[in-house]
Amino acid sequence: MIKKASFLVSNTDHTKCPTPNKPEFAFIGRSNVGKSSLINMLTNNKSLAKTSGRPGKTQLINHFVIDERWYMVDLPGYGFAKVSKSIKGDWDKMIKGYLTSRENLEVTFVLIDSRLEPQKNDLEFILWCAENGVTIVLIFTKADKQSKTKTLANVYAFIKATQEIYEEAPLYFVTSAEDKQGRDEVLEFVGAVTED
Among ligand GTP, Mg ion, none, partner that 136 touches (CB below 5 to 8 angstroms by kind): none
CB of 77 to Mg ion, least distance (A): 6
Position among 17, 25, 26, 36 found at the interface with ligand GTP (CB under 6 A): 36
Q: For residues 118 and 110, is the Cβ–Cβ distance under 8 A?
A: no
Measured N-to-C along each axis, helices 35-43 and 183-194 cross at an angle, to the nearest 10 degrees, of: 80
Position among 43, 62, 108, 141 found at the interface with ligand GTP (CB under 6 A): 141
Q: Does 35 bind ligand GTP (CB under 6 A)?
A: yes
Ranges of beta strands (E only) in the chain are: 5-11, 24-29, 61-66, 70-74, 105-113, 136-141, 172-174
Distance CA 190, CA 181 (A): 16
Per CB under 6 A, which region of 11-19, 116-124, 142-150, 154-162 contacts ligand GTP? 142-150
Position among 14, 64, 76, 134 found at the interface with ligand GTP (CB under 6 A): 76
Neighbour tally for 129: CB within 10 Å = 21
Among Mg ion, ligand GTP, none, partner that 108 touches (CB below 5 to 8 angstroms by kind): none
Per CB under 5 A, which region of 39-47, 53-61, 79-87, 108-116 contacts Mg ion? 53-61
Distant-in-sequence, close-in-space partners of 144: CB < 8 Å, separation ≥ 6: 176, 178, 179, 181
Q: Does 31 bind Mg ion (CB under 5 A)?
A: no
Closest CB to ligand GTP among residues 12, 194: 12
Position among 58, 62, 108, 154 found at the interface with ligand GTP (CB under 6 A): 58
Q: How does DSSP classify residue 50? A: -
β-strand pairing of 172-174 with 136-141: parallel
What's the CA angle centered on 105, arms 151 and 77, to 5 degrees? 50
Q: How does DSSP classify residue 51? A: -
Q: Does 58 bind Mg ion (CB under 5 A)?
A: yes
Among Mg ion, ligand GTP, none, partner that 34 touches (CB below 5 to 8 angstroms by kind): ligand GTP
Contact residues toward ligand GTP (CB under 6 A) are 31-37, 51-53, 55-58, 76-77, 141-142, 144-145, 176-178
Contact residues toward Mg ion (CB under 5 A) are 35-36, 57-58
